[in-house]
A and B are shown apart, each in its own frame.
Chain A
Amino acid sequence: MSIWGTNPAAEGGVCRLTAVDISGRHERDGRYLMVCAAVGVETKADAVDAVGAMEFDVLDTEREPRFEVVVDTVSRAVSRLDSDATVVAEKGEFYNKPDWIVEGALGTGFKYVETIGERKAVGVAHHAAYAVRNLLLRHDI
């Protein structure tokens, strides 16, 4: 079959991923209130196809977060999803460390965002983490 013209993908090009984002990596009133959201998603290259379960992990600390702390927080949120899907995040989330280092630290498949769909999925996780953190701050939990 010729490669010219259209080349439809198997299974419609849908990927199952866990999108993660952390809100609150900055210091406020002497503490860091970090909320990590892990969101099960199905993405296409150009869109989020479906959003499934969301899980969160909260870290309230006076110490500036380091790579290992971020990895632990993300790991806890991801483990609650009970999914073996590849974790996807923005590059800054893990201090721009190479993806193979992050993958080793998390102990699960990992990649940085590439497609429009992945970036939008991390955007969903960002909104979720941001909203939960605001809720915690508003109610002083």
Chain B
Amino acid sequence: MISIQHLYRFLILVLVLIVSSCEEIIQPKDPQISPRVVFEHLWSDIFNRYSFFEEKQIDWELQKQIYEPLIHEGLDQFELFEILGDLLAELEDGHVNLLSSFNRSRNWSWFEDFPLYYDEQLIYDEYLKTDYRIIGPLHAQTVENMLYVNYRSFERTLTDQHMDEVVRLMQFHDGLIIDVRSNGGGNLQNALNIASRLTEKEIVYALQRFKSGPDRSDFTHWSPLRISPQSGEKYLGKVAVLTNRRSYSTTTFFAQMIKVLPHARLFGDQTGGGGGTPVYAELPNGWTYRFSGSQTADLDEVQLEFGVEVDELLTNPMDQIPGKDHFIEAALDWLKD
């Protein structure tokens, strides 16, 4: 009887050992890393979740027919990367990239095919000079009694304290120029930190919706994007904002904010677009990619993906002034008016 009891308990202990590490026993395997599997995963995910197929009139199934025959098991990682990068480039979207440890694919045709009208050397020599103020990410200088502010990237954080200083300086200036040419975007909050100092009331500046399923029409409802006035000091005078084709993503959102402010005006060339919020994902071989997963439109439901038009277009070669930045000069003329 005793030996049976011992056996019984021994079996229990064996069972305990058997059920240990269950998490490893049931762990699924990672998917295969073959070029075909990687291609299929990327193509399918973009097919299901990319947000601008209809607006851009892109037949993604046709692209599969074109690119799939190029995929075979003998491809090395560099060849595969090139084919997948070319596939994604068909989307003509600055928010679409394939990222590996050795390269990042991109399509920059939204600015590469256009003149930028932005000569940094000229701006520093003629306008900012050497004694400009550095207010966080902003470079600021008085130009003909206007405050000229140059903001290179919305990735650089703009705090309330930085904006307090800009608003304080406006006591001594007659108008404000904000230069966001070739600003490739960054954190939307930085754009809101500026716009919230330029209005006394809440303003809806755009509409946004997100992909909510694999069908072309699967989107959330349009929801308003708002500028809410900041509680601190504000500047409610005239504001000129300078943009070009390389003003992208958050800078396009910022241009749209300026567009709806009654005392502000956009000068230069339309922005490059970038109205879709980038979604990040990973392929079976560890490469990551991003793609637009939302749409943003102005209040007439015109897509910001294709850029925000300026109030004063300055792309005619006749507009240019030798030795001067004709965007800044046009803004100065309007502010003095």
Same assembly: no
A interface with B by C-beta (< 8 Å): none
B interface with A by C-beta (< 8 Å): none
